[in-house]
Chains A and B, each alone.
Chain A
């Protein structure tokens, strides 16, 4: 118990002493685990929400549509309600194809005639307000969200202004904007939102110019057999002899709902890999920067009689604790963000269940792996260092690169210092270049997606716009997260370089290097690896896009990709200048006089 308390006390003391480092670690791992959790949660997420909505709204197993309202049409649909295997039904009802105007925006709408009390199958769930009453309409939530409509607002349906009495969700139809289920006259649907209105209010829609379709909601004894039912089961064949009937199983509705996420999941999964890579790079740099201080800490602990096991526990405990905290934060963030991603049209119940046990295990393992892998090297090195040597100076010997040193002699002072800083720790420069390449690869992916024209598939142009928008939002979020983490990494790398080389830079100051030259040198050490990294990121990004491309894919012009890559060095320089400037202004005398660097 005493040992555990001692370890905890040392961990807390170190975190208090280096809050910025703890914050960097938290941010890096949180971003990576959140993205990993989102990527892992998306598989089957919409289907899960659909099932919840279906359960809450007594969703039908099959919906049968038939154009028109003639007697034969109604008879055919009613015969389906009595077909073998059907245990309950609602309808037939009518739906009119018209438009709805709200807040100056007009959208295609399907107005369903609603009973005062919904039937046993397909009972829309009100998420706000009340159910349909004469002189008021209920709007499907996805449609209401798209139009920015709330309960109490007035909307115009077929030229008639009506108040919105409620907002509801239903599993009887696909998510907005695939609500019509079937287009006018039995043809393909142009998409649109769903509105429920009292019969009295739909009378104005009865006109030869307004297409109308009849439909019936069916519940089967065996919901799993809904697909077989729709493929012209011999038992229901008589219904189709004289009337054109379109039947849709609940599985088809669920599948269509998930189309919205089809392109988002790979973006999130690949994004989480890249973020994890950046997190590892950033933390490895951070751990390396702290190596000297950690080695001296080990020396102190050894000197007071701490056993290697206790020392290792102290060194690992901090990163592992912070990694677990970051993992929890990442999972919580993913839990909050998930509904917006899996339910972009808001047409389903947003009772996100959060990450699965598998996802939690995956993210926790990843977070712990990042923490352990980045601290393992410095910890082992520190434990192997002799006590006296550890107390004296724990810094790892920098490398001598005669070739780079000779080349740098030809350069102006800032570049000379920058190249020599790279030559001290070339591995760090490679890591930084790889991080830049990962970020640039994502930016390239973003540019490729933005280069594609809005497709507007026949049938549901609105749906494709929404899907494109969803895809754009997801990759924009991934890119923003990557750029933010790359920025944090740049700050970390510059700070680490400045920490490790502070004596060297102080010596350079005594020899006549100005603070500006030292700042520029520290920045140059970050900027020089950025350019090759950014250039390498372009083909990397294009390769990542290849599996999702086709013959009609439009690739962004080379100049635009090159221009994007060329913005990386100045952005890096600006970021690196912040810690570099602070480091260059450190008093030279105290840096050189300090026993402990």
Chain B
């Protein structure tokens, strides 16, 4: 984190595809500060550049121009190797299609980031078991992804994303493939993470998800068109908003 208390800082961020007549600005001169512990939702129509922005902030893509800083460290100029190391510890990703490793069980999927970060197998196993229990998946720990429901798979994916306690969790349409009940499960988990001080950036089409955030940014044609602070969203209100009778 830098002196301003921002985990993520984006300045003049631009991502272009193609050239000449076919030039497309997926992200167009975007500036953004995400303070620690904030839950930021990014909304907009399909193709407006939400996912690209998320990828740029997580170092999965390189910008055409502009800067991305994570905890004060500029990451857009880092080598692939350095970016990979950064992702191990500082960034967690959650995807719409889960992207669990199909040949690994739920527990093995959650262990994977810790193993890649050099933890001992025992420590990784303990951490995975604790997360799966916390997420209500202790019984499904040995199951393979295709043996789990969509909601369970996304919970495993979230557990995997936070296994190394990242500075920021980037979620790309995390409820896009889920039914209502599973969506509520995921939102409950995000609520818990938010309460624990986890910085969250969520790209979504779902207004229910967006309404749980501290801040809502609307995007169109690669640029921000609105930036709204959503007041009064204490952790305790999330359940009420969702009608869960928290």
Q: Does B195 contact A (CB under 8 A)?
A: no
Q: Does A380 contact B (CB under 8 A)?
A: no
**A511/B113 contact (C-beta < 8 A), A397-B146, A589-B61 known:** yes
* In the complex, per-residue mask of A496-518: 1 if CB is within 8 Å of any chain B CB, else 0: 00000001101111111111110
Q: Which of A59-67, A113-121, A327-335, A408-416 is found at the contact surface with chain B?
A: A408-416
**A409/B81 contact (C-beta < 8 A), A400-B104, A507-B101, A589-B61 known:** no
**A512/B101 contact (C-beta < 8 A), A410-B121, A413-B116 known:** no
Chain B residues whose C-beta falls within 8 Å of the C-beta of A399 in the assembled complex: 103
A503 touches B55 (CB 8 A): no
Q: Does B60 contact A (CB under 8 A)?
A: yes
CA distance A516 to B124 in the complex (A): 23
CA distance A504 to B108 in the complex (A): 13
Q: Does A385 contact B (CB under 8 A)?
A: no
B101 touches A504 (CB 8 A): yes
Q: Does A592 contact B (CB under 8 A)?
A: yes
User: Restricting to A373-409, which residues have a CB under 8 Å from any CB of B?
Assistant: 397-402, 405-406, 409
CA distance A589 to B105 in the complex (A): 24
Q: Which of B84-92, B178-186, B219-227, B228-236 is found at the contact surface with chain A?
A: B84-92
Nearest-neighbor residue (CB-CB) of A401 within chain B: B103
A588 touches B99 (CB 8 A): no
B150 to chain A, nearest CB (A): 14
The 8 Å CB contact of A512, one of B87, B99, B108, B125, is B87
User: Restricting to B69-127, which residues have a CB under 8 Å from any CB of A?
Assistant: 80-81, 84-89, 93, 95, 99-105, 108, 111-113, 115-117, 121, 124-125
Please report the total number of B residues contacting A with Cβ < 8 Å.
37
The 8 Å CB contact of B105, one of A402, A504, A516, is A402
B84 touches A512 (CB 8 A): yes
Chain A residues whose C-beta falls within 8 Å of the C-beta of B100 in the assembled complex: 507
CA distance A424 to B113 in the complex (A): 19
Of A515, A516, A588, most B-chain CB atoms within 10 Å: A588
User: Restricting to A196-227, which residues have a CB under 8 Å from any CB of B?
Assistant: none
Chain B residues whose C-beta falls within 8 Å of the C-beta of A504 in the assembled complex: 101-103
A512 touches B116 (CB 8 A): yes
CA distance A159 to B86 in the complex (A): 84
The 8 Å CB contact of A510, one of B93, B105, B115, B125, is B93
B48 to chain A, nearest CB (A): 15
Of B52, B105, B112, most A-chain CB atoms within 10 Å: B112
A409 touches B111 (CB 8 A): yes
CA distance A423 to B102 in the complex (A): 12
A592 touches B104 (CB 8 A): no
* In the complex, per-residue mask of A555-597: 1 if CB is within 8 Å of any chain B CB, else 0: 0000000000000000000000000000001011100110000
Chain B residues whose C-beta falls within 8 Å of the C-beta of A432 in the assembled complex: none
A508 touches B104 (CB 8 A): no
B103 touches A398 (CB 8 A): yes
B85 touches A515 (CB 8 A): no
Chain B residues whose C-beta falls within 8 Å of the C-beta of A413 in the assembled complex: 115-116
Chain B residues whose C-beta falls within 8 Å of the C-beta of A424 in the assembled complex: 103
B117 touches A512 (CB 8 A): yes
Q: Does A467 contact B (CB under 8 A)?
A: no
Q: Does B51 contact A (CB under 8 A)?
A: yes
Q: Does A141 contact B (CB under 8 A)?
A: no
Chain A residues whose C-beta falls within 8 Å of the C-beta of B153 in the assembled complex: none
Nearest-neighbor residue (CB-CB) of A407 within chain B: B121
The 8 Å CB contact of B87, one of A400, A511, A517, is A511
User: Restricting to B131-155, which residues have a CB under 8 Å from any CB of A?
Assistant: 144, 146
* In the complex, per-residue mask of A512-540: 1 if CB is within 8 Å of any chain B CB, else 0: 11111100000000000000000000000
CA distance A420 to B101 in the complex (A): 10
Q: How large is the interface on A (under 10, 10 to 19, 20 to 34, 35 or more residues)?
A: 35 or more
Chain A residues whose C-beta falls within 8 Å of the C-beta of B84 in the assembled complex: 509, 512-515, 517
A514 touches B103 (CB 8 A): no
Chain B residues whose C-beta falls within 8 Å of the C-beta of A416 in the assembled complex: 115-116
Chain B residues whose C-beta falls within 8 Å of the C-beta of A517 in the assembled complex: 84
User: Restricting to B42-61, which residues have a CB under 8 Å from any CB of A?
Assistant: 51-52, 55, 58, 60-61
B78 to chain A, nearest CB (A): 11
Of B84, B87, B88, B113, most A-chain CB atoms within 10 Å: B84
A398 touches B93 (CB 8 A): no
User: Restricting to A412-433, which residues have a CB under 8 Å from any CB of B?
Assistant: 413, 416, 420, 423-424
Chain B residues whose C-beta falls within 8 Å of the C-beta of A587 in the assembled complex: 60-61
Chain A residues whose C-beta falls within 8 Å of the C-beta of B88 in the assembled complex: 511-512
CA distance A403 to B23 in the complex (A): 50
Nearest-neighbor residue (CB-CB) of B52 within chain A: A589
B70 to chain A, nearest CB (A): 14
CA distance A405 to B84 in the complex (A): 22
A492 to chain B, nearest CB (A): 21
A515 touches B51 (CB 8 A): no
Q: Does B205 contact A (CB under 8 A)?
A: no
CA distance A410 to B116 in the complex (A): 11
B61 touches A516 (CB 8 A): no
Chain A residues whose C-beta falls within 8 Å of the C-beta of B80 in the assembled complex: 514-515, 585
Q: Does B160 contact A (CB under 8 A)?
A: yes
B99 touches A592 (CB 8 A): yes
The 8 Å CB contact of A511, one of B61, B103, B116, is B116
B55 touches A511 (CB 8 A): no
CA distance A508 to B113 in the complex (A): 8
CA distance A517 to B118 in the complex (A): 13
A-B contact pairs, 21 of them (CB 8 A): A397-B146, A399-B103, A406-B121, A409-B124, A413-B115, A416-B116, A506-B99, A507-B99, A508-B116, A510-B58, A510-B60, A510-B99, A511-B113, A511-B116, A511-B160, A512-B116, A512-B117, A513-B84, A515-B81, A585-B80, A587-B61
Please name 15 further chain A to chain B contacts, defined as beta carbons within 8 Å, in addition to the given A397-B146, A398-B103, sorted by A numbering. Answer: A405-B104, A409-B111, A420-B104, A424-B103, A506-B99, A507-B99, A510-B60, A510-B87, A512-B113, A514-B84, A515-B84, A585-B80, A587-B61, A592-B60, A593-B51
| Those 5 A-B pairs whose CB atoms lie nearest each other, nearest first | A512-B88, A409-B121, A514-B84, A398-B103, A589-B55
Q: Which residues does B use to contact A, with CB under 8 Å?
A: 51-52, 55, 58, 60-61, 80-81, 84-89, 93, 95, 99-105, 108, 111-113, 115-117, 121, 124-125, 144, 146, 160, 164
